[in-house]
Structure 1
Amino acid sequence: MAVIEARDGNFAQEVLNADKPVLVDFWAEWCMPCRMMAPVVDQIAEEHPEIKVVKLNVDENPLIASTYRIMSIPTLGIFKDGKMVDKVIGVTPKQHLLNKILQYVD
């Protein structure tokens, strides 16, 4: 499954109303650690159809970033049933991130 771009305007539809766990990559264009995480996030999206993967550029979507108090990027938020249930901040090994999110898959 491809990574979906979320914005302030479609965040509820893409993330909060999703029927499966969602991994949200809060990132910015200028953020080098975010660029390091991008291939990991893309791989998870391709390899795990049971997880919805969404990217949200914090510079272009400040409302959502402030709503979830995103202070450091990359922040990888895990959403289930319309709530952020967990998050990982910073560059993280793929398996660690997968272990975190897979516990929310039914």
Structure 2
Amino acid sequence: MANQPMDVITKVLEKVEEQVDAELSKLNELEEDDLERLKEKRLEALKKLRNRSRNVKESKKVVCHFYRDSTFRCKILDKHLSILAKKHIETKFLKLNVDKAPFLTERLRIKVIPTLALLIDGKTKDYVVGFTDLGNTDEFTTEMLEWRLGCGDFINYSGNLMEPPTQAKKSSTKFTKVEKKTIRGRGYDSDSDSEDD
């Protein structure tokens, strides 16, 4: 009878060991499955990157928008680019999230977001960094972006490349303001639009 408690303990220990082995086996399987899923996602991302690379090499003209989801100005630029992409089918328009492509972003020395990399025959020829070339304002027009891309022959631009589209609008606005000041009897030395008339 003295052996019976020992047999019971041994059986209990064997059961516990089986349960621990089963749990370890489940954890190992989960880890392998998780690793397999990560591997599949990574392979899919590499395939997409390879396809993008082929598209860039096959396309004569490419406009690549380096963006970040959290950057408001990227959304502004994206709105204008989507309009131009429909209009200029001779050019391939791409978006590249800088957080998902750090190697390429660093290699091309992209520091300011948003940035447009402008390519011809697979080679980077120019950049549009931020909104400086677009009037240095968030309210630039699609026509202004179209003009800027046309200046480098990245799209087939049909307007006058010698004058940005907003420049003509600004000069007519200035003329109107000067005329108002003259009509009100003010001189040209005051640029303020005060309400003390």
- Say whether the fold is shared (TM-score over 0.5): yes
Between Structure 1 and Structure 2, the one with more strand by share is: 1
Matched residue count: 100
1:89 has 2:137 as partner:
no
1:20 has 2:60 as partner:
yes
Please give the secondary structure, in 2, of the residue aligned with 1:72: coil
Structure-2 residue corresponding to 1:63: 103
Structure-1 residue corresponding to 2:159: none
Structure-2 residue corresponding to 1:3: none
Please give the secondary structure, in 2, of the residue aligned with 1:9: helix
How far has the Cα of 1:104 moved from its partner?
3.7
For the 8 Å contact 2:68–2:113, the answer to whether it is kept is yes
**TM-score, normalised via structure 2 length:** 0.46
Query: Match of 2:66, as an amino acid?
Result: F
Residues 16-56 of structure 1 show CA distances to partners (whole Å, capped at 9, x for unaligned) of x1332100000001111101111101011111101110000
For the 8 Å contact 1:79–1:85, the answer to whether it is kept is yes
For the 8 Å contact 2:63–2:92, the answer to whether it is kept is yes
Q: 1:86 to 1:96 in 2, by over 3 A?
A: farther
Structure-1 residue corresponding to 2:195: none
Pairwise CA RMSD: 2.2
Identical-pair percentage: 28
Structure-2 residue corresponding to 1:34: 74
- Distance in 2, Cα, partners of 1:44 & 1:71: 24
- Distance in 1, Cα, partners of 2:154 & 2:76: 25
1:98 has 2:138 as partner:
no
Structure-1 residue corresponding to 2:176: none
